[in-house]
Chain A
Amino acid sequence: MKKLLERHIEWLRPFFQPGGKLQWLYPLHEANETFLLTPAEVTHGAPHVRDQIDLKRVMIMVVLALIPATLFGIYNAGYQFNLANVVEGADFWDHVIKGLWLCLPIILVSYAVGGFWEVLFALIRKHPVSEGFLVTGLLFPLTLPPTQPLWQVAMGVTFGTVIGKEIFGGTGFNVLNPALTARAFLYFAYPVSISGDVWVPLVKGGPIAEGFSGATPLGIGAAASVGTESFVDTLSNAGYTLKTLFFGLHPGSIGETSMVAILIGLVILMISGIASWRIILSGLLGLTFASTIFQHFAGGPNLKVLAELPFYYQAMIGSFAFGLVFMATDPVSATATNPGKWVYGFLIGALIVAIRVSNPAYPEATMLVILFMNIMAPLIDHIVLQAHIKRRNRHVHA
């Protein structure tokens, strides 16, 4: 098999090399070759780092880590559809097929349009095609509801790739996480399609299951007022207990619902050393800290009923877990220094809770908080470095 691939690549090479007919398509050939084989080409100048892992392997590991969330999201989308629209006798495979029918077009459009821009810029700028878009192209659909119109997906991923990444110079130079930039575009451009009761597709005029509301835990929290029963009871009456929240068979964005799938992803990212454990841990700490404080003030003025939730609920509702594991740890847009990572993660966790419980306009804040901290990351790194320099300077002058 390897022989065959090598022969294939060797046969193709002359077409793309300088003087060949397809010279201008060289980045495509390069991408093809490095996907299939390990090329013999090495960095032209010193220093040389010998490592098993490069940008391509990093990106592929993230895609692998996303697969459980993707598969579960597909199943869940079909399951929610069949449940809400009272499809009689639907079994496991019916859910899967329905879910594929709902989610696959979104993922394919995201990959096709995102890939188009990536390749276009690679050809114009004559740099290799970057695998960054494999991650962005999958992360972005996972943050969307299964009902998102496809043309909006195309617009969003265009915005995310071009404005979020390419204008800064491509993969590795982006200030913002491209997938979240894409989602933020849709959030502000078409708020009706991405917030409110959009999480489960309903057949027009068809029967709707009794008691079906399609509301997410955060949606319930935004609508409910402070009453006699505790909010935890309100949630469990609506079918959200710790157990159901953990397994994640409930409405939401495609990839965000299941803690199981996200934890599998987290383990993969941890073992391969791609995600920073500092950001994850400090994110959880920040969330715990903020939700404990807000619990004390629960029922107070200007606080939503969500403030009553203990931290383990806060961690499992909404997109906190998904955002923290897959978005906040993006090595390009996060802080680079170790102390900076602690601050960055902590503020992400704390701010998400603060906005959730106190801002009436936003039921969920993960996307905006992570984008905000992306922008703050260089500042945090700057402060860390300045403090370090100051400390070292003392030794010089002493």
Chain B
Amino acid sequence: MATSIKKVIVDPLSENNPITVQILGICSSLAVTTQVDTAFAMSVGLTLVTAFSNLVISAMRNFIPSKIRIIIELAVVSTLVIVTDQILRAYFFELSRQMSVFVGLIITNCIVMGRLEAFALQNPPGISFLDGIGNGLGYSAILMTVGSIREILGKGSWGGIVLMPQSYMDHGLNGLMVLAPGAFLCLGLIIWIQRTLIKKYETD
């Protein structure tokens, strides 16, 4: 395989970013980005799930009958997701309560399945694992950016540390940033700026 390790890790960060270029995983990036700590937990969770499911599926790729591969993939992914969920509940209960169903919904995240189908089934385990890490990091970068913007503008703090002066908060939380439309706007602006920079345009 000609795929270099560097390309596998670096590409998803910008040129082939799962969120801003492939427009995958939008739902979770809207739901958990009201503040930085949930965004961070989600980023770590998704990165690990993607990496390890890539690793497992890639190791089994020669034994999986192609007709039932989706079921096998789902079994692997859901196992990993449940492990993640249980760890969060055991050690970060408050955080897992805030994220509610969205940890469980990692299983429906298109990035996970997408990487399995597009990469892990054709490549050896080592590079597949790195591909999972790379895509997870690309997802994390966007999630953390959106989470930071929304928390700073919406609640005047970053990761719980108060940044904005009291007078900013006198007018109440910035409702637009705290609610889902804020995530849409941030995401849209990030996509706009990024695509202008890497000069990627979709034309029909």
The residues of A with any CB-CB pair to B shorter than 8 Å are 149, 151-152, 163, 167, 185, 188-193
Known contacts A163-B185, A167-B192; A185/B172 CB under 8 A? no
Measured between alpha carbons, how far is A151 from B165 in the docked complex, in Å? 13
B192 (CB) vs chain A CBs: closest residue: A167
CB pair A189 B192 closer than 8 Å = no
Q: In the complex, A167 Cα to B192 Cα: how many Å?
A: 8
Specify which of A149, A152, A163, A190 is in contact with B175 (CB 8 Å cutoff).
A190
Instruction: Find out whether the CB atom of B174 lies under 8 angstroms from the CB atom of A189.
Output: yes
**Counting CB contacts under 8 A, is B160 at the interface?**
no
A151 — which chain B residues lie within 8 A by C-beta?
168
Alpha-carbon gap, A152 to B185, bound state (A): 18
Contact with A along B162-204 (1 / 0, CB 8 A): 0000001001101111010100010010001000000000000
- Residue in A185, A188, A189 with the greatest tally of chain B CB atoms within 10 Å: A189
A188 proximity list for chain B (CB < 8 A) = 175-176, 179, 181
Task: Say whether A190 contacts B185, CB under 8 Å.
Answer: no
Which residues of A sit under 8 angstroms from B181, Cβ to Cβ? 188
> For A185, what are the chain B residues with a Cβ–Cβ distance below 8 Å?
176
Interface centre among B171, B185, B188 (most CB of A within 10 A): B171
B187 to chain A, nearest CB (A): 13
Tell me the smallest distance from the CB of B201 to a CB of chain A, in Å.
14
Interface centre among B176, B181, B188 (most CB of A within 10 A): B176
- Residues in chain A near residue B177, CB distance under 8 A: 189
Cα A167 to Cα B193 in complex, Å, equals 11
Residues of B bordering A, CB below 8 Å? 168, 171-172, 174-177, 179, 181, 185, 188, 192
Complex CA–CA separation, A205 to B192 (angstroms):
48
Asked whether, in the complex, the Cβ of B172 is within 8 Å of the Cβ of A191, the reply is yes
Q: Which residues of B contact A192 (CB under 8 A)?
A: 171-172
Interchain CA distance A163-B172 in the complex, whole Å: 23
State whether A193 touches B185 (Cβ < 8 A). Answer: no
A189 to B174 alpha-carbon distance, docked (Å): 5
B171 touches A152 (CB 8 A): yes
- Top 7 nearest A-B pairs (CB, nearest first) are A189-B176, A188-B176, A189-B174, A192-B172, A190-B171, A193-B171, A188-B175
CA gap between A185 and B174 in the complex, in Å: 10
Of all chain A residues, the one with the shortest Cβ separation from B181 is: A188
Q: In whole Å, how far is A176's beta carbon from the nearest beta carbon of chain B?
A: 13
User: Contact between A149 and B176 (Cβ–Cβ < 8 Å)?
Assistant: no
Complex Cα spacing A66 to B51, Å? 60
Chain A hits for B176, CB < 8 A: 185, 188-189
Write the chain B residue with the least CB distance to A166.
Answer: B192
CB atoms of B172 and A190 under 8 A apart: yes
Question: How far, in Å, is A150 (CB) from chain B's closest CB?
Answer: 11
10 A-B residue pairs with CB within 8 Å: A163-B185, A167-B188, A185-B176, A188-B181, A190-B174, A190-B175, A191-B172, A191-B175, A192-B171, A192-B172
The smallest beta-carbon distance between A371 and chain B, in angstroms, is 13
Contact A149 B192 (CB under 8 A): no
A152 to B177, CA, bound (A): 14
Q: Give A151 to B169 CA distance when docked, in angstroms.
A: 12
Nearest chain-A residue to B154 (Cβ)? A189
B167 — nearest CB in chain A belongs to which residue? A149
For residue B194, give the distance in angstroms from its CB to the closest CB of chain A.
Answer: 14
The distance from the CB of A225 to the nearest CB of chain B, in whole angstroms, is: 27
Taken together as a complex, chains A and B put the C-alpha atoms of A189 and B153 apart, in Å, by: 10
B175 touches A189 (CB 8 A): yes
Q: A167-B192, A189-B177 are in contact. Are A149 and B185 (CB under 8 A)?
A: no
Chain A residues with Cβ below 8 Å from B168 are: 151
Distance to closest chain B CB from A121 (angstroms):
12
Q: In the complex, A151 Cα to B192 Cα: how many Å?
A: 25
Task: Give CA–CA (A149, B170) in the complex, Å.
Answer: 11
With a cutoff of 8 Å between Cβ atoms, the chain A residues found around residue B174 in the complex are 189-190
Note all chain B residues with C-beta closer than 8 A to A193: 171
Q: Which residues of B contact A191 (CB under 8 A)?
A: 172, 175
Chain B min CB distance to A276 (Å): 31
By a CB distance below 8 angstroms, the chain A residues around B175 are 188-191
Docked complex Cα distance between A191 and B168 (Å): 14
How far is B171's CA from A152's CA once the two chains are assembled, in angstroms?
Answer: 10
When chains A and B are docked, how far (Å) is the Cα of A185 from the Cα of B176? 7
How distant is A194 from chain B, measured CB to nearest CB, in Å? 10
How many whole Å from A112's CB to the nearest CB in chain B? 20
Q: Residue on A with the closest CB to B176?
A: A189
Which residues of chain B have C-beta atoms less than 8 A from A189's C-beta? 174-177
Q: With A and B bound together, what is the CA distance between A215 and B192 in angstroms?
A: 43
